[in-house]
């Protein structure tokens, strides 16, 4: 776990509905529902009436008769998502997309060139607003779990930093629904017993939680309430790339030093790949220069590999090819990522599955029923090869 709060969770607000409001001024400030049969997204004005994603259209219209219902425009959402992910990747090479409108960004290695994580988050929000015209909320914390919780609390159009020393205080005052994995079933069971906050959960024994929620949910919740084991949160999500980066400050840097930095990065990434039993085919070298410009160079291997020597060989070739640029502009950051990852016998699964709540699955099924499976496929293919899988429904 990182020592400092340097993980950003960036999540666009009411994504599809916000794109509609951005593109049609008549929709701004008004309740907007995307999708007629099933609610694919609702603007905050519609959410205020109780409209929720994945709700049936008839119920949504009953709750919010004044809402304007618009058909989805997947290509517009795809384009907006691409543009936002460009901003993410301009912020840091370490971007882990978890859905069409949401990603984790590790900015831990960037202090020297980009400043403190909170400042980076402020600039990221401004850049998304400026370049894409959309509001994005960012949570900053030491772990992905807390960063995700923080962005949920900060929504809409917010920024929330959780400093390491206030993690428990932050968590314990929250309603239990803020914890990942707590769906309607779990929260109803807790509410029956007058348990409403994470702090109340934290005071309960694991055995008691298991007795009321079952083993999986009970243990999961107990761990999260104690700010432990963030791993269950990301169950089911498979990364498609792994990377590492290092800021090296303004030069001049001797070539052997650059090569040593590169070797260290490749070693780190390849070790992590082997630990996760993954092999990869595409090696990408990312460079940032004195003038803040950037360059990316990739090479794809004939055979996927996780061998340090194989990956390093390719990375060194990329570095050599970039030397003219480095000499001209001066390099301040080196990043290495390995993509096209394969795992042995493992499948990509949809992210955001909740342990006790089939909400997303049934929502996706409903969407397939309504729009045909191509609606789902299109969104899934959107970022193919770019490092992440995409569920159809952004959760917020």
The answer to whether the beta carbons of residues 87 and 124 sit under 8 Å apart is yes
Is 290 annotated in some ligand binding site? no
* Single residue of 45, 106, 356, 396 touching Mg ion by CB under 5 A: 396
List the one residue from 45, 96, 101, 106 that touches Mg ion (CB under 5 A): 101
Distance in Å, CB of 22 to Mg ion, minimum: 14
By C-beta, is 32 or 266 nearer to Mg ion? 32
Q: 376-396: b or e for each residue (b if 16 or more CB lie within 10 Å)?
A: bebbbebbeeebbbbbbbbbb
Based on CB atoms, which residue is closest to Mg ion, 14 or 70?
Answer: 14
Q: Which range in 81-89, 94-102, 182-190, 274-282 contacts Mg ion by CB under 5 A?
A: 94-102
Q: Is 358 helix (H, G, I), strand (E, B) or coil?
A: coil
Residues 20-39 that bind Mg ion (CB under 5 A): none
Residues 234-263 binding Mg ion (CB under 5 A) are none
Beta-strand ranges (E) seen in 92-187 are: 95-99, 102-106, 136-141, 159-161
Q: Which of 7, 8, 12, 326 binds Mg ion (CB under 5 A)?
A: 12
Tell me whether residue 11 or residue 167 sits nearer to Mg ion (CB atom): 11
| Residues touching Mg ion, count (CB under 5 A) | 6
Least separation in angstroms between residue 193's CB and Mg ion is: 31
> Is the CB of 12 or the CB of 273 nearer to Mg ion?
12
Which of 45, 102, 206, 328 does the annotation list as catalytic? 102
Identify the CA nearest to 18 among candidates 62, 88, 61, 81.
81
* Annotation marks residue 102 as catalytic: yes
Q: Which of 68, 77, 72, 76 is nearest to 32 (CA)?
A: 68
Give the residue with the Cβ less far from Mg ion, 155 or 239: 155
CB 12 within 8 A of CB 102: yes
Query: Where are the extended beta strands (E) located within the chain?
Result: 7-12, 32-34, 41-42, 68-70, 95-99, 102-106, 136-141, 159-161, 242-247, 278-289, 294-305, 331-339, 342-343
Q: Which stretch binds Mg ion (CB under 5 A): 98-106, 201-209, 241-249, 338-346?
A: 98-106
Query: Shortest Cβ distance from residue 155 to Mg ion (Å)?
Result: 8
Binding mask 345-374 for Mg ion (x = CB under 5 A): ------------------------------
Q: Specify the residue, 12 or 124, whose C-beta has the smaller distance to Mg ion.
A: 12
Report the alpha-carbon distance of residue 5 to residue 107 in Å, rounded: 9
CA angle 84, 87, 91 (to 5 degrees): 140
d(CA 243, CA 283): 9
Stretch that binds Mg ion, among 9-17, 43-51, 69-77, 171-179 (CB under 5 A): 9-17
Q: Which tokens hold the place of 350?
A: 């949809």
Backbone angles phi, psi at 173, to 5 degrees: -80, -10
Q: Which stretch binds Mg ion (CB under 5 A): 37-45, 95-103, 240-248, 346-354?
A: 95-103
Which residue, 12 or 160, has its beta carbon nearer to Mg ion? Answer: 12
Question: Alpha helices, DSSP H only, in 229-385?
Answer: 255-275, 308-329, 359-371, 373-381
Establish whether 277 is an annotated binding residue.
Answer: no
Question: Do 31 and 49 meet the contact criterion of CB atoms below 8 Å apart?
Answer: yes
Task: For residue 394, state whether it binds Mg ion (rule: CB under 5 A).
Answer: yes
Q: Least distance to Mg ion from the beta carbon of 102, Å?
A: 5
CA distances from 275 to 126, 191, 262 (A): 37, 41, 20
Residues 6+ apart with CB under 8 A from 189: 212, 213
Q: Which of residues 317-336 bind Mg ion (CB under 5 A)?
A: none
CA distances from 207 to 177, 224, 298 (A): 20, 15, 51
* Window contacting Mg ion (CB under 5 A); options: 12-20, 67-75, 87-95, 241-249: 12-20
What count of Cα atoms within 13 Å lies in the side-chain half-sphere of residue 286?
A: 24
Q: How far is the CB of 286 from Mg ion (least distance, A)?
A: 26
Residues in contact with Mg ion by CB under 5 A are 11-12, 15, 101, 394, 396
Please list the active-site residues: 102
Q: Could you list the residues known to form a binding site for Mg(2+), using ranges.
A: 11, 101
Q: Could you list the residues known to form a binding site, using ranges.
A: 11, 101
């Amino acid at each position: 776990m990182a020592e400092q709060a340097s993980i950003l969770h960036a999540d666009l607000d009411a994504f599809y509905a916000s794109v509609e409001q951005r593109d049609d001024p008549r929709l701004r400030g008004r309740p907007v529902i995307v999708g007629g049969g099933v609610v694919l997204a609702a603007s905050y004005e519609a959410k205020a009436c109780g409209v929720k994603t994945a709700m049936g259209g008839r119920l949504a219209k009953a709750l919010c008769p004044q809402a304007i219902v618009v058909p989805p425009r997947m290509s517009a959402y795809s384009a907006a998502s691409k543009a936002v992910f460009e901003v993410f990747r301009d912020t840091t090479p370490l971007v882990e997309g978890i859905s069409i409108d949401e990603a984790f960004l590790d900015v831990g290695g960037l202090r020297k060139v980009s400043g403190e994580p909170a400042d980076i988050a402020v600039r990221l929000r401004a850049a998304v607003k400026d370049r894409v015209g959309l509001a994005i909320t960012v949570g900053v914390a030491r772990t992905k779990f807390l960063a995700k919780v923080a962005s949920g609390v900060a929504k809409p159009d917010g920024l929330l930093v959780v400093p390491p020393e206030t993690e428990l205080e932050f968590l314990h005052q929250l309603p239990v629904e803020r914890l990942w994995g707590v769906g309607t079933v779990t929260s109803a069971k807790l509410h029956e017993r007058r348990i409403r906050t994470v702090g109340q959960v934290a005071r309960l024994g694991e055995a008691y939680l298991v007795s009321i929620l079952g083993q999986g949910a009970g243990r999961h919740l107990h761990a999260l309430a104690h700010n432990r084991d963030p791993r269950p949160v990301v169950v089911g999500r498979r990364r498609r790339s792994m990377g590492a980066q290092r800021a090296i400050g303004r030069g001049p840097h001797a070539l052997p030093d650059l090569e040593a930095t590169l070797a260290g990065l490749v070693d780190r990434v390849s070790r992590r790949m082997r630990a996760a039993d993954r092999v990869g085919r595409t090696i990408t070298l990312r460079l940032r220069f004195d003038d803040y410009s950037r360059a990316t160079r990739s090479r794809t291997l004939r055979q996927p590999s996780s061998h340090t020597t194989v990956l390093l060989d390719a990375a060194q070739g990329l570095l050599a090819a970039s030397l003219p640029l480095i000499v001209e502009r001066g390099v301040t950051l080196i990043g290495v990522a390995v993509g096209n990852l394969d795992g042995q016998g493992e499948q990509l699964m949809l992210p955001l599955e909740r342990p006790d709540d089939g909400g997303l699955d049934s929502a996706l099924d409903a969407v397939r029923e309504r729009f045909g499976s191509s609606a789902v496929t299109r969104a899934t293919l959107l970022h193919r090869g770019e490092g992440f899988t995409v569920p159809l429904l952004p959760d917020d």
